[in-house]
Structure 1
């Protein structure tokens, strides 16, 4: 019984990835184009996620700054904080709340030409919406990775922003697919910057 349940997890995840391959190719391509254009023009990528998505934000930031699968110069990326020092800094601001922890960092660190990469399974948290508004106020492009509907983020995005909405409602499946999407972004960025890899 337990073994069947475990196998079902794999089957459900694999089925979602097949579905996502068909619907996400174009938005991921648009996200890559925005990232490459911004990075090659001297922009930076500010990355943020809440909860489990914060770990994905840290991971993709490390892969941009360090390397993905090939050696290359580091790319300017910064994971925005949602705990520790970030919250301590917010505590001294009059009227500050957790909902403004990301937007304050975007206002402080973001510049025109930078990009904001948001990762969240539903896209409804007020902190994310405030971060989008702050990024748009700084003339930054926003790329949002969400679940099926895109949540409130869908309506907050501008014409030049990009929504990559995983076609599923279950949070764990969305998170698994977000990891794959982030690796697709890193791979495609390397392809655009370095060209095809020579066969070994």
Structure 2
């Protein structure tokens, strides 16, 4: 029982610190609303649990978060096509799969929104598929937003807007990420309903 109580206490402490990211969250919301206004789209990517968060976020943007009468926001999950993921990964390797999706779908003015607990590490190869996508997005003059954890990795230095959850426990970072994504949706829906 002690471990259960301790886990939730630590988890709550982590979540309670997220209001410190208000400025960055508002910048992300402004970027998404500007993207929608200009009829651009948002490409969202992540690996593992962060891939699930990316799919969840895209669903909220395309469909609705709480405002059932708001217009959809054009968003694509980069890992949502298993045939494409497996075809490219089988023939060329997974490292460049997200880059290929940016080549296929990304245009100037679009947003590449990346979710990663580590942010990319060249030494161990973790999340380098996201770094490759970001480098491709930079060539296309897309805005890069990264929701990351730990020390931020490579994405911290190559993104336009960064929300860094300073924690080294992957599960706590993931919990924080979904809370931040919901907060972004909350602000966006409120803004769109006011118009």
Looking at structure 2, the residues matched to 82 and 194 of structure 1 have their Cα atoms a distance apart, in angstroms, of: 29
Looking at structure 1, the residues matched to 10 and 102 of structure 2 have their Cα atoms a distance apart, in angstroms, of: 36
Give the deviation of 1:97 after TM superposition: 1.8
Give the deviation of 1:139 after TM superposition: 1.1
1:37 aligns with 2:34: yes
1:10 aligns with 2:12: no
**Aligned partners of 1:111 and 1:139 also within 8 Å:** yes
TM-superposition CA deviations, 1:141-182 (whole Å, max 9, x none): 01100003211111222xxx1000012111000000000000
TM-superposition CA deviations, 1:91-136 (whole Å, max 9, x none): 575xx22110100001110111110110010011210110001111
Which secondary structure does the structure 1 equivalent of 2:181 belong to? helix
1:170 aligns with 2:166: no
**Aligned partners of 1:154 and 1:163 also within 8 Å:** yes
Provide the TM-score with structure 1 as the length reference. 0.89
What is the 5 A alignment of 1:119-134?
119-124=115-120, 125-134=127-136
Provide the TM-score with structure 2 as the length reference. 0.91
1:47 aligns with 2:64: no
Give the deviation of 1:74 after TM superposition: 1.3
1:188 aligns with 2:187: yes
**Aligned partners of 1:121 and 1:171 also within 8 Å:** yes
Which secondary structure does the structure 1 equivalent of 2:64 belong to? coil
Q: Which residue of 2 aligns with 1:155?
A: 157
Point out 4+ residue stretches in structure 1 off by more than 6 angstroms: none
Q: Once superposed, what is the RMSD of the aligned Cα atoms?
A: 1.6
1:100 aligns with 2:96: yes
Unaligned runs of 5+ residues in structure 1 are: none
Which secondary structure does the structure 1 equivalent of 2:162 belong to? strand
Q: 1:92 to 1:175 in 2, by over 3 A?
A: closer
1:59 aligns with 2:41: no
**Aligned partners of 2:85 and 2:97 also within 8 Å:** yes
Q: Which residue of 2 aligns with 1:76?
A: 74
Looking at structure 1, the residues matched to 90 and 55 of structure 2 have their Cα atoms a distance apart, in angstroms, of: 25
